[in-house]
Each structure stands twice: as C-alpha cells, then as structure tokens.
C-alpha cells in the first residue's frame, strides 16, 4: 500500500494514535498510483489522484424508484467531483453561496459523491469526473430504463424526501495555519437544515474561527493542531436526518 509519508503520526498518546491511524488508513492507496502519473510539486509534495470506488458499468433503472451512483476518490490536492449526464453537467444540489474556495495545494483528502437519479426515459450515460489540481480521472456508467416510462410523478418530483448528504470528505489533511473548507452538500424536500458538530461533539455556532456557509460547507480559519479530530455534518428536515463524518488532521509544514 502507498501512504503519503508526510502525514505520519508520531508523539501521540496510544489511544489517540490508534484513532488517527484508523482514519489515516483511508488515505492508503495501492502502488498503481505510481504508474498513474503521480508527480511532485516544486515544494516536493507528491500530487496524485485515484478513484477508489466507482459505479458499475451499467444499471437497469425502473420508473418510480431511486438510483444512487457513487464515486469516491483520494487525491492531493483535495479532489472535487463533478457529474455529467450525456456530456451535460448535472447540478445535484442547490448552491446558495457565492463563496467559491479552491482546495489548498498542500491538502490531501478522500471525498465521496453520490448522484441521485430519479428518472430514466430510455438510456443515459453518466460520467463521474474527479479533478485534483491539473489531474483528471473519469468513470462512465450507462443507465437504462426497464420500462420506457416517461411519466414523472409528484413523488419523483419531490424525491428524496429524507435528507441525503451527497458530497463530503471522509478524511482531510492540510497544513497548520491554512484556511480549510469541509463540504457537506445535501438534497431533500423540504430543504434540509445543516448543522456541524466540532471535534468535541458540540454544535458550531459562535466560534470565531469556524463558519458554516449557506451552502453547507464548514470553513475553519487558521487550522491548529488542537483542531484535529472528527467533525460531523448533520442534515435534518421533517422527514428525518443524516450524519456524515470528516476526520481532520492538521499537519506540520514540511
């Protein structure tokens, strides 16, 4: 297995070290990354990108049912996932914030993104496009209808009712002192309310260094060693709730 050596854990208590190691294993990727074009930046940090989970090559989709396509990837810098349907971009969640923040070049992250498909008329080609710096990786899936129905019921128009977190990081590593952004993109009807819990399990409200954007992302300014731990995004509406956890590891500059 290939593990980014910059973020080795040392000088921690045994319990805390075990917890950190458990999460750092999510950044392990096999040696195929070497032949996948891993490069080093001018600072010596290794840049790489690998899709670790992709949808199947094809799916049969019955009308009136929901289909989930999931892409998971690990990369440095932290990757982002974009979905396309028949070469046209798919906007699978509402963006209510004009604040667009690029990932830091020193970051490493494992991201998961789920596209919710509510309707297929005949057949459609979906592409998961993952970007990390200048690197791009793709996964293509064919979705075909089992009955050819073109009816779009009220239930499908409102799907999903329960909150669904469709984009989040599982692990995020970045240099102490940087400003970081943790995504939490949601779908649901009515629109879910998003709250974040800090690494002590407390709801983030008035912390001067932590801000929850209208789009659901958590911004942590001037990352500190004390910020290490698991942060939880919670999406809630009248029909239920869902939780997604992100482990944040502040790293010393190399």
The structure tokens listed for 35 are 């032949």
Residue 234 to residue 186: CA distance in whole angstroms: 10
- Residue 92 — very low, low, confident or very high, per pLDDT cuts 50/70/90? low
Task: Confirm if 171 and 26 have CB atoms less than 8 A apart.
Answer: yes
Q: Are strands 58-61 and 135-145 parallel, antiparallel or unpaired?
A: parallel
Under DSSP, is residue 20 helix (H, G, I), strand (E, B) or coil? helix
- Give me the residues paired with residue 195 across strands: 234
- Give me the residues paired with residue 14 across strands: none
State the average pLDDT over residues 105-125.
92
User: Over 90: is that where the pLDDT of 79 sits?
Assistant: yes
The residue extents of the domains of the chain are: 5-251
Task: Confirm if 114 and 68 have CB atoms less than 8 A apart.
Answer: yes
| 26-30, 155-159, 237-241: segment of lowest average pLDDT | 155-159
Give me the residue label for tokens 């396509």: 69
Side-chain half-sphere CA neighbours of 150 within 13 A: 1
Q: Tell me how many degrees the CA angle 43-168-52 measures, rounded to the nearest 5.
A: 70
Task: Give the pLDDT confidence score for residue 36 in this predicted structure.
Answer: 46
Residue 140 to residue 121: CA distance in whole angstroms: 18
Per-residue pLDDT tens digits for 46-72 = 789 999 999 999 999 987 788 999 999
What predicted TM-score, i.e. pTM, was given to this entire model?
Answer: 0.81
Q: Tell me the CATH architecture of domain 5-251.
A: Sandwich (2.60)
User: SS3 letters for 103-158?
Assistant: CCCCCEEEEEEEEEECCCCCEEEEEEEEEECCEEEEEEEEEEECCCCCCCCHHHHH
Residue 94 to residue 80: CA distance in whole angstroms: 16
Residue 96 to residue 48: CA distance in whole angstroms: 31
């Amino acid at each position: 297995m290939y593990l980014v050596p910059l973020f080795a854990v040392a000088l921690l208590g045994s319990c805390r070290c075990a917890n950190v190691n458990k999460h750092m294993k999510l950044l392990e990727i096999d040696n195929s990354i070497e032949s996948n074009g891993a490069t080093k930046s001018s600072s010596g940090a290794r840049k790489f990108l690998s899709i670790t989970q992709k949808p199947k090559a094809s799916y049969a989709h019955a009308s009136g049912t929901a289909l989930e396509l999931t892409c998971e990837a690990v990369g440095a810098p932290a990757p982002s996932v974009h979905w396309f349907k028949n070469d046209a971009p798919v906007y699978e969640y509402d963006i209510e914030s004009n604040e667009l923040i690029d990932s830091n070049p020193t970051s490493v992250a494992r991201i998961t993104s789920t596209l919710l498909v509510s309707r297929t008329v005949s057949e459609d080609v979906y592409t998961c496009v993952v970007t990390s710096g200048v690197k791009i990786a793709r996964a293509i899936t064919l979705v075909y209808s089992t009955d050819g129905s073109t009816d779009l019921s009220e239930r499908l128009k409102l799907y999903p009712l329960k909150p669904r977190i469709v984009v989040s990081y599982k692990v995020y590593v970045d240099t102490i002192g940087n400003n970081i952004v943790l995504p939490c993109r949601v779908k649901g009807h009515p629109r879910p309310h998003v709250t974040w819990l800090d690494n002590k399990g407390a709801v983030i409200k008035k912390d001067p260094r932590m801000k929850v954007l209208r789009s659901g992302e958590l911004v942590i300014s001037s990352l500190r060693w004390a910020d290490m731990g698991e942060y939880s995004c919670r999406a809630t509406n009248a029909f239920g709730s869902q939780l997604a956890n992100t482990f944040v590891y502040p790293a010393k500059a190399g």
